[in-house]
A and B are shown apart, each in its own frame.
Chain A
Amino acid sequence: MDLDSGSSSTVGAGVQAIPGHPARRGALYQFKQQNLPACKPVLTPATVIATFLLMGLIFIPLGLVTLRTSNSVVEIVDRYDIECVPEEYRSNKLLYITDDSISKNCSRFLKVPKSMRAPIYVYYQLDNYYQNHRRYVKSRNDKQLLHGLGDNSTSTCKPLEFSGDLPIVPCGLIAWSLFNDTFKFSSGSSELKVNRKNIAWKSDRDHKFGKDVYPFNFQNGPLIGGAKLDPNTPLSDQEDLIVWMRTAALPSFRKLYGRIEEDLDADDVIVVQLMNNYNTYSFGGKKKLVLSTSSWLGGKNDFFGVASLFIGAFCMLISIVFLLLHVKNPRPYGDATYTSWNKKSSSS
């Protein structure tokens, strides 16, 4: 077989000149002849091993940096839903939470493990709470939130569109189930001021929740869900509601409660006075209070670091394996003799 010209990687075979055809050249012509200049990358050992090495060299430091960042975040997590139930109701928490006559007051003492610099974010965390449940996540009406009752299409709010014969503002399950535990913080004798302003997204306040939409007929029905709203505050200022209505994608989520705008020192003890109103007992959910500082990556999250380190290590490993393979078993490229295709070629 003819062996001479297999190595040409340039495209564009000799195109015969055809009389009567204009435009022999040009990008369009090359496209039509499928002859556009092309670059054909090839996986050589050098490039592949170098790529993996480079990936390793990027990801391992990245992992270390993100892990360090995550470690620099100080976080206090306190689960209070069990502890806050008085001993006598521990066996029947549901009775405790549904009975309005029982005081829901509760005190928690949190020890600051390391000094925390302001701002310190206060979150409440719910576990095993399906804000992403289909029935739940759809049960809202964005138009109503922005324009109020003028748009009386509350159909998407099923099953909570009306109470009595009157529409509810804000309608729907999400608003109805608004979280209603409250927290007060004090350190030593002084009260720790929690800034509850600007906890919701500005874009939501400005463009998603109406400035002249007021709660109406809310929590008036036979079923009381969560918090009640001040009927004299427009929705755009009901920041707890706005935060709550940014539904979480995961069954375990944190929502911003406020910011503490002063530093906390290590070993400070923070006293939390809380109202344990919200019912998570019926479905075994957990309630946690979280105080956390922040970094450029957000809150404490080791995942970035661990994943980066893992991927970096994997890339390094692969690059070493391929290097060894290449050294031990170098293959001349383009040599087809070792393939079975050719075994029979001796016969001809």
Chain B
Amino acid sequence: MKRYVYINDDESSHDLYCDNRISNRKYTVLNFIPKNLWEQFSRFMNQYFLLIACLQLWSLITPVNPASTWGPLIFIFAVSATKEAWDDYHRYLSDKKANEKEVWVVKNGIKKLIQAQDIHVGNIVWLRENDEVPCDLVLIGSSDPQGLCYIETAAMDGETDLKTRVIPSACMGIDVELLHKIKGVIECPTPDKDIRRFDANMRLFPPFIDNDICPLTIKNTVLQSCYLRNTEWACGVAVYTGNETKLGMSRGIPEPKLTAMDAMIDKLTGAIFVFQIVVVMVLGIAGNVWKDTEAKKQWYVLYPDKGPWYELLIIPLRFELLCSIMIPISIKVSLDLVKGLYAKFIDWDDQMVDLETSTPSNATNTAISEDLGQVEYILTDKTGTLTENKMIFRRCCISGIFYGNENGDALKDVELLHAVSSGSPDVVQFLTIMAICNTVIPTQSKTGDILYKAQSQDEDALVQAAARLHMVFFNKSGNILEVKFNNLILQYEVLETLEFTSDRKRMSLVLKDCQNGKILLLSKGADEAILPYARTGQQTRNFVEAVEQYAHLGLRTLCLAWRELREDEYREWSLMFKEANSTLVDREWRVAEVCQRIEHNLEVLGVTAIEDRLQDGVPETIETLRKAGINFWMLTGDKQNTAIQIALSCNFISPEPKGQLLSIDGKTEDEVRRSLERVLLTMRITTSEPKDVAFVIDGWALDFALNHYRKAFTELAILSRTAICCRVTPSQKAQLVQILKSCDYRTLAIGDGGNDVRMIQQADIGVGISGREGLQAARAADYSIGKFRFLKRLILVHGRYSYNRTAFLSQYSFYKSLLICFIQIFFSFISGVSGTSLFNSVSLMAYNVFYTSVPVLVSVLDKDLSEETVIQHPQILFYCQAGRLLNPSTFAGWFGRSLFHAIVVFLISIHAYAYDKSEMEEVSMVALSGCIWLQAFVVAMETNSFTILQHLAIWGNLAGFYAINWIFSALPASGMYTIMFRLCRQPSYWISIFLMTAAGMTPILAIKYFRFTYRPSKINTLQQAERLGGPIVSLGTIEPQPRPLIEKDVSTLSITQPKIRNPVYEPLLSDSPNATRRSAGTPFDFFQSQSRSSLPNYSRNCKDN
């Protein structure tokens, strides 16, 4: 599908495409209530609660006042609706601001000021310096005589450097006045969200130039939300407007992420729901039987002989309502609340503030903190994530001579300085390429210093270094580049730019040396993209060695090469290039092919080596997190050797005696397959050894592996704790995340650049480093941190605490709901199975809303272990990863506890308040008091560290319970008038409470103490050590082998098969991670005999080092 945009033609396209009204709103005033309600009710839990609330309106079956359900329900709905409305109102305001902004548009040949929302496709829009672009435009004019203009795209991709845009050749040189009258047609694709592609054509109608079709690329466009900079004015034709712009299309609400914990809670809720249905059915049947046999004889109940047709349903429905509190309505609100607080704690954390830039950490997604504690795989980018992304030119090799080897800084190498000053032709050429073969824009500041605006840090480093070596690139005006070399000004005219793509891995310039008119091709790129195209006869051995040597030092290398083009060769090629550039289909591929035709026979000049320093604390962070049982994968666009060196220097992989690196390579499908199988075999037999086995794969082989041997690769992925993937594309990064996710591993992706965005969005948790490559990754991410080392704290402290706290909070919520529900069920057995509620409406409502929800909320402050202990013993994270604190088995414990407590409370209240004291309201309050006391003690016992707030909440809540009930007891109109005063005067009440508390808590205390002392979990051991100051014997080096699958037959694994996990993790009793995660051993020597030269392993790399 294509769209045809008629320039400056108001009529023909007026109605065809939408106007420029931007709308990000989800709701309008009219549809807010129905739409919002509909959205909320599409959740199962809400439907369930609504059904319950509706049933309660039927007074025949409702056990309590319907307000006890409607109140909380309306409250919960109001809260989330208000939040939505608030967000939407802000979206509306910002839309309105954008829509009503005034812009200059040509209407009927006259420039007019109109509101941005009235722009239509085909209109000519005029922009002045620092204006925001209102819609996607194709440039047709600019104040710059060369037709250039500069834009800032920070709002779109987060990159703060200026980008150049150029008007299409067809519009070049049209007079400003004539631009008002320009007519023509632009043929462009239907709107899409790719902000890097715009494959279109333009044809101007006479009298403007001939009928030639002029190709358009993204370089000829300015997109919505960019800013025009350093350009007096520019004008363009609106091609996409409103929500159809590239930005508008790429907008979209990302799918909400669900944590493993939420899934588990949902599962448990489902189980409780089933349990509830069973209870209701049993009690319903029992109730009907009792009614028919007993109640008919009870004359005082006055059962009619013949009931209505629905008579059989009444009792089951009553029980359904009575049991509906089993599923706590407050759990959602409580969880949202504490999750918000977890996120705030991350935002507030002073120890995660990047001191250099004063950027605090930020949790964009407030809902997934618990997942941080359950991470099993971290997929990390290299550049800018592990490293600083502060590129410094360190060494170079020009024509076989190494510079900078002695002192590690080529700029201070006397020999190089000498070579420069003596004007050695190779060196000068080398510097020229360093200085101009790039897309850097030099700008002169007021003080006369030259500042460079570079899109890539590498180019920046090269230009800076060239400038330090007296080759100063100081001006770029249009196609003319000006370079100052030793006070000599050299001018070059750029003829073509062969841009860098990740596939080509090189960029070239075709330019004309204005001094002598020669046409030159300058190239720079990765070694494998340059060296194979060297001039026949040139020895590239030197360069290969240099590249290898530099790579082993962890330096990034680029090869520089050039050649002179003959005039006719250039002409011929130039035509092809133009044609390729104007194709609409597969343009990128065609262009690459054409570029290939000229980039050969190169004279390789040398190799540059750029250092990218590791960030502070990276090795320690990786070591700590690996001890915590987290597996690391490094996904980088860099080359294999560099990646391996960085990996070695940051503890990613261990050097030879301990570690082993297996390489998967191959140029053809078959080779890759064999290599993959070999590595897999090795992996399988070495998993039992205390050795760090890692595999390394490059993008090429990965492509085959992902497309043809996905199953084998998945198996490998599961077996391998460490992997290095080099030369991978953004989509491959995302695919790797997908593979790990498909095996049911919790993945965390961390990166800093635009190429990591897909991986970050794909992973369970995306972490962005707010670094130098712009904010793109940080914006897409769930969490953004300033430095890689904060990851340690994010996972071990925040993730772990969040997991522990939510585990307690969710199970406790079920515990307290079940407790009161069990009492109701027991009571129904002594009330003729008729569905009487023991508790009155006020108590039932307040129980969930006030009495029990406040104390548990302060569990967000609970710390089972101090932060220092956790950081020192990261292995403890295993409890979270394996879900030891929230699983069906721990839940069963809480279920049992609530059953036990219900029995205790019920038996004691009916026996203590028997006969003459068996007044309904009194018994009800005794039982309720028992529940409140017990739950206060349960919270107290499960709290590991009491701050003042915990004391306030737990004991204050208990006092609050009495205060609330005294107030109700003082109101003559209330059903419980005087009851609480009466009870509090009775010694038997206090003795009953004392008995209930003691009977309920002593067994729990005894069990807890027994486990704590005689069957301690690692957490308990550390608690003892931490609090009693005992000797901390090293919890040691658990050999991290979390490979639960190995014990199973690995070959049966298929991609879709999720990770097999024992649902019951033997919590609290058997805590050896190794016991469940270890695999069967195989002799160690086996691999050594298998080792062949085709498996390049570390020994080779290390020897070379």
Q: Is the CB of B299 within 8 A of A2?
A: no
The residue of chain A having its C-beta at the shortest distance from the C-beta of B1011 within the complex is A43
Specify which of B911, B917, B1033 is in contact with A298 (CB 8 Å cutoff).
Answer: B917
A residues less than 8 Å from B299 (CB atoms): 177, 225, 279, 282-283
* Given A279-B299, A333-B1028, A251 contacting B830 (CB threshold 8 A): yes
Specify which of A296, A299, A348 is in contact with B916 (CB 8 Å cutoff).
Answer: A299
Specify which of B351, B866, B875 is in contact with A16 (CB 8 Å cutoff).
Answer: B351
Q: What mask results when residues 933 to 969 of chain B are scored 1 for a CB within 8 Å of chain A, else 0?
A: 0000000000011111110000000000000000000
Query: Is A252 at the interface (CB under 8 A from chain B)?
Result: yes
Query: Is A80 at the interface (CB under 8 A from chain B)?
Result: no
Beyond the given A43-B1013, A299-B915, please list 9 additional residue pairs across the A-B interface where CB-CB is below 8 A: A6-B1032, A38-B947, A42-B1023, A135-B301, A249-B838, A252-B915, A283-B297, A304-B992, A336-B1033
Specify which of A39, A41, A55 is in contact with B1002 (CB 8 Å cutoff).
Answer: A55
Query: Is B1031 at the interface (CB under 8 A from chain A)?
Result: yes
Q: Is the CB of B861 within 8 A of A36?
A: yes
The residue of chain B having its C-beta at the shortest distance from the C-beta of A7 within the complex is B1029
A residues less than 8 Å from B868 (CB atoms): 5-6, 8, 13
In chain B, positions 967-981 with a C-beta closer than 8 Å to chain A are 972, 975, 977-978
Query: Is B834 at the interface (CB under 8 A from chain A)?
Result: yes
In chain A, positions 310-346 with a C-beta closer than 8 Å to chain B are 311, 314-315, 318, 322, 325, 329, 331-337, 339-345
Q: Is the CB of A137 within 8 A of B836?
A: yes
Query: Is A51 at the interface (CB under 8 A from chain B)?
Result: yes
Q: Is the CB of A318 within 8 A of B1075?
A: no
Query: Is A9 at the interface (CB under 8 A from chain B)?
Result: yes
- Taken together as a complex, chains A and B put the C-alpha atoms of A39 and B831 apart, in Å, by 46
- Taken together as a complex, chains A and B put the C-alpha atoms of A52 and B923 apart, in Å, by 29
Q: Is the CB of B1031 within 8 A of A335?
A: yes
Q: Is the CB of A7 within 8 A of B298?
A: no
* Given A18-B355, A341-B1035, A332 contacting B917 (CB threshold 8 A): no
* Given A40-B944, A337-B1033, A341-B1073, A135 contacting B918 (CB threshold 8 A): no
What's the minimum C-beta distance from A61 to chain B, rounded to whole angstroms?
13
Query: Is A301 at the interface (CB under 8 A from chain B)?
Result: yes
Query: Is B269 at the interface (CB under 8 A from chain A)?
Result: no
- Taken together as a complex, chains A and B put the C-alpha atoms of A159 and B300 apart, in Å, by 11
Q: Is the CB of A130 within 8 A of B301?
A: yes
- Taken together as a complex, chains A and B put the C-alpha atoms of A66 and B948 apart, in Å, by 37
Q: Is the CB of A336 within 8 A of B1021?
A: yes
Would you list 22 pairs from A and B whose C-beta atoms are within 8 A, ordered by A residue? A37-B948, A43-B1012, A55-B998, A135-B303, A160-B302, A207-B972, A208-B977, A249-B827, A249-B910, A252-B915, A318-B1006, A322-B1010, A331-B1013, A332-B1031, A334-B1024, A334-B1028, A335-B1033, A336-B1032, A339-B1035, A340-B1072, A342-B1034, A345-B1038
Specify which of B831, B916, B977 is in contact with A134 (CB 8 Å cutoff).
Answer: B831
- Taken together as a complex, chains A and B put the C-alpha atoms of A71 and B114 apart, in Å, by 97
Q: Is the CB of B1033 within 8 A of A248?
A: no
Q: Is the CB of A344 within 8 A of B1074?
A: yes
What's the minimum C-beta distance from A157 to chain B, rounded to whole angstroms?
11
* Given A36-B949, A132-B836, A207-B977, A6 contacting B872 (CB threshold 8 A): yes
* Given A9-B1027, A253-B918, A348 contacting B690 (CB threshold 8 A): yes
In chain B, positions 886-944 with a C-beta closer than 8 Å to chain A are 908, 910-924, 944
B residues less than 8 Å from A59 (CB atoms): 998
A residues less than 8 Å from B1030 (CB atoms): 7, 332-335
Query: Is B63 at the interface (CB under 8 A from chain A)?
Result: yes
Q: Is the CB of A48 within 8 A of B1005?
A: yes
Query: Is B835 at the interface (CB under 8 A from chain A)?
Result: yes
* Given A203-B977, A334-B1028, A282 contacting B947 (CB threshold 8 A): no
- Taken together as a complex, chains A and B put the C-alpha atoms of A124 and B930 apart, in Å, by 29
Query: Is A246 at the interface (CB under 8 A from chain B)?
Result: yes
Q: Is the CB of B1071 within 8 A of A1?
A: no
The winner among A8, A20, A43, A325 for most chain B CB atoms within 10 A is A43
Query: Is A347 at the interface (CB under 8 A from chain B)?
Result: yes
Q: Is the CB of B1032 within 8 A of A3?
A: yes
A residues less than 8 Å from B978 (CB atoms): 201, 203
Q: What mask results when residues 278 to 315 of chain A are scored 1 for a CB within 8 Å of chain B, else 0?
A: 01001110000000100011110101100110010011
Specify which of B863, B1005, B1018 is in contact with A336 (CB 8 Å cutoff).
Answer: B1018
Specify which of B355, B1028, B1036 is in contact with A344 (CB 8 Å cutoff).
Answer: B1036
Q: Is the CB of A283 within 8 A of B918?
A: no
* Given A42-B1028, A298-B988, A314-B1002, A33 contacting B916 (CB threshold 8 A): no
Nearest 10 pairs of A and B residues by beta carbon: A334-B1030, A334-B1025, A345-B1036, A340-B1072, A177-B300, A38-B945, A249-B923, A6-B1032, A134-B834, A32-B348
Query: Is A187 at the interface (CB under 8 A from chain B)?
Result: no
Chain B interface residue number, banded: 35 or more
- Taken together as a complex, chains A and B put the C-alpha atoms of A219 and B669 apart, in Å, by 97
Q: Is the CB of B872 within 8 A of A344?
A: no
The residue of chain B having its C-beta at the shortest distance from the C-beta of A312 within the complex is B998
Binding site for A on B (CB under 8 A): 63, 294-295, 297-304, 318, 344-345, 348-351, 353, 355, 358, 690, 801, 827, 830-832, 834-836, 838, 861, 863, 866-869, 872-873, 875, 908, 910-924, 944-950, 972, 975, 977-978, 982, 986-988, 991-992, 994-995, 998-999, 1002, 1005-1006, 1008-1010, 1012-1014, 1016, 1018, 1021-1039, 1070-1075
The residue of chain A having its C-beta at the shortest distance from the C-beta of B865 within the complex is A40
Q: Is the CB of B918 within 8 A of A248?
A: yes
What's the minimum C-beta distance from A4 to chain B, rounded to whole angstroms?
9
* Given A55-B1002, A341-B1036, A304 contacting B1008 (CB threshold 8 A): no
Binding site for B on A (CB under 8 A): 1-3, 5-9, 11, 13, 15-16, 18, 20-21, 31-34, 36-45, 48, 51-52, 55, 59, 62, 66, 121, 123, 125, 129-137, 142, 159-160, 173, 176-177, 201, 203, 207-208, 223, 225-226, 246-256, 279, 282-284, 292, 296-299, 301, 303-304, 307-308, 311, 314-315, 318, 322, 325, 329, 331-337, 339-345, 347-348
What's the minimum C-beta distance from A208 to chain B, rounded to whole angstroms?
7
Q: Is the CB of B918 within 8 A of A250?
A: yes
Q: Is the CB of B986 within 8 A of A298?
A: yes
- Taken together as a complex, chains A and B put the C-alpha atoms of A333 and B873 apart, in Å, by 17
* Given A1-B872, A1-B1034, A18 contacting B350 (CB threshold 8 A): yes
Q: Is the CB of B350 within 8 A of A334?
A: no
- Taken together as a complex, chains A and B put the C-alpha atoms of A336 and B875 apart, in Å, by 13
The winner among B300, B908, B1009, B1029 for most chain A CB atoms within 10 A is B300
- Taken together as a complex, chains A and B put the C-alpha atoms of A135 and B307 apart, in Å, by 13
Q: Is the CB of B298 within 8 A of A133?
A: yes
What's the minimum C-beta distance from A5 to chain B, rounded to whole angstroms?
7
Q: Is the CB of B991 within 8 A of A133?
A: no
Specify which of B912, B1033, B1070 is in contact with A342 (CB 8 Å cutoff).
Answer: B1033
Q: Is the CB of B298 within 8 A of A256?
A: no
Specify which of B991, B1032, B1074 is in contact with A62 (CB 8 Å cutoff).
Answer: B991
What's the minimum C-beta distance from B991 to chain A, rounded to whole angstroms?
6
A residues less than 8 Å from B920 (CB atoms): 131-132, 137, 246-249
- Taken together as a complex, chains A and B put the C-alpha atoms of A320 and B2 apart, in Å, by 87
B residues less than 8 Å from A340 (CB atoms): 1070-1072, 1074-1075
What's the minimum C-beta distance from A171 to chain B, rounded to whole angstroms?
13
The residue of chain B having its C-beta at the shortest distance from the C-beta of A337 within the complex is B1033
- Taken together as a complex, chains A and B put the C-alpha atoms of A43 and B943 apart, in Å, by 12
The residue of chain B having its C-beta at the shortest distance from the C-beta of A174 within the complex is B300
What's the minimum C-beta distance from A348 to chain B, rounded to whole angstroms?
4
What's the minimum C-beta distance from B859 to chain A, rounded to whole angstroms?
12
* Given A42-B1024, A137-B836, A132 contacting B1037 (CB threshold 8 A): no
Q: Is the CB of B1075 within 8 A of A250?
A: no
The winner among A39, A66, A339 for most chain B CB atoms within 10 A is A339
* Given A42-B1028, A43-B1013, A254 contacting B916 (CB threshold 8 A): yes
- Taken together as a complex, chains A and B put the C-alpha atoms of A125 and B916 apart, in Å, by 8
- Taken together as a complex, chains A and B put the C-alpha atoms of A318 and B836 apart, in Å, by 39
B residues less than 8 Å from A250 (CB atoms): 830, 910, 914, 918, 923
